[in-house]
Amino acid sequence: MKNPELLEDFNEILEEYNKVYDVNFSFVDSYRDPDVVCCEESTADGYSVWLLKEASESVCVSENLHYYEPRINDVFRLMHDIHSSSVEAFVEIDLSYIAEFMYEALCTDFQAREKAARIELATTDNYMA
């Protein structure tokens, strides 16, 4: 696993996230038959709402409609729940928020792996002594 602090842009962060979590996620900015949809829509009377759903699902107001922009972790949870070799998401959320979410997940994982390696090294050193 690469140190997340060395990743420079969205594509590098996404590539590392895909590798570490054994997924194949991609994000698109135009609607071309995606697996996941996260976009802002307007109601008949002009209110703004957010839709987060699998593209193949019908809209269920109590499950898919959000008054506020969905949280990034909700988008990722939905993407992880889709059991497919690759998941493409059409999102109208700023990609910098998505990059930040992935970066934080990678940092948490990287720190946990480093800690485990230090513990194992200390255990091995104590065992050898």
Contacts of 27 (CB under 8 A, 6+ apart): 14, 88, 89, 90, 91, 95, 98
Is 61 within the bounds of a domain? yes
C-beta atoms surrounding 100 within 10 Å: 13
The answer to whether residue 3 is domain-embedded is no
Question: Is residue 22 in some structural domain?
Answer: yes
Task: Determine, yes or no, domain membership for 1.
Answer: no
pTM score: 0.86
- pLDDT tens profile 43-65: 999 999 999 999 999 998 889 99
Whether 88 maps to a domain, the answer reads yes
Please list the pLDDT of the chain residue by residue as tens digits (129 residues). 899 999 999 999 999 999 999 999 999 988 888 999 999 999 999 999 999 999 999 998 889 999 999 999 999 999 999 988 899 999 999 999 999 999 999 999 999 999 988 887 777 666 655
Report if residue 110 sits inside a domain: yes
Structural domain harbouring 75: 8-128
SS3 labels along 9-49: CHHHHHHHHHHHCCCCEEEECCCCCCCEEEEEEECCCCCEE
Residue 2 located in a structural domain: no
31-40, pLDDT tens digit by residue? 888 999 999 9
Total domains in the fold of the chain: 1
Q: Token digits for 114?
A: 């480093």
